[in-house]
Amino acid sequence: MSYAEEPFRTNIVLVSVTDLESEVKSLKAELDKVKEDQRKVSEEAAKRIEGLERALSWLNVVRSQAVWKSRTCRYANNGICDAWNVSDPERVGVPKDAVIAVEGPFKKVDLQKFPEICAVCPLYEVRK
């Protein structure tokens, strides 16, 4: 049987235009929702980034003040604070690598490694 003699077989599926319109509307609504969700996520991320940048700026201000105080305080002696003796440095937030053991149970703070301790120190007095 030649190609021309084959019986005509249709593979056309009739689809309702209304159904197609409905499907397109549904997909458009889903796409709009995805876009809206994405916009909200982007806004939230931008707000968080702005908050982190502000916090970072604030920390930089605090750190620069702390470094200045650690260099000008009368109790800073060769980069070590002579005023504070801490028995449990980690409990008060002094990192291990900034602790210098001295005689007895107390420890001193290495200001070059942890000048932040000077930031809010009530004992600060300018060196004269």
Choose between 60 and 85: whose C-beta lies nearer to ligand SF4.
Answer: 85
Rounded to 5 degrees, what angle do the CA atoms 81, 87, 90 make? 85
47 or 74: whose CB is closer to ligand SF4? 74
Exactly one of 65, 79, 99, 124 binds ligand SF4 (CB under 6 A); that residue is: 124
**What are the backbone dihedrals phi and psi of residue 7, each rounded to the nearest 5 degrees, phi first?**
-70, 145
Task: State yes or no: residue 107 binds ligand SF4 (CB under 6 A).
Answer: no
- Contact track, ligand SF4, 59-88, x by CB under 6 A: ----------xx--x-xx----x-xx----
Site for ligand SF4 (CB under 6 A): how many residues?
A: 14
| CB of 70 vs ligand SF4, minimal distance in Å | 5
Interacting residues with ligand SF4 (CB under 6 A): 69-70, 73, 75-76, 81, 83-84, 111, 117-118, 121, 123-124
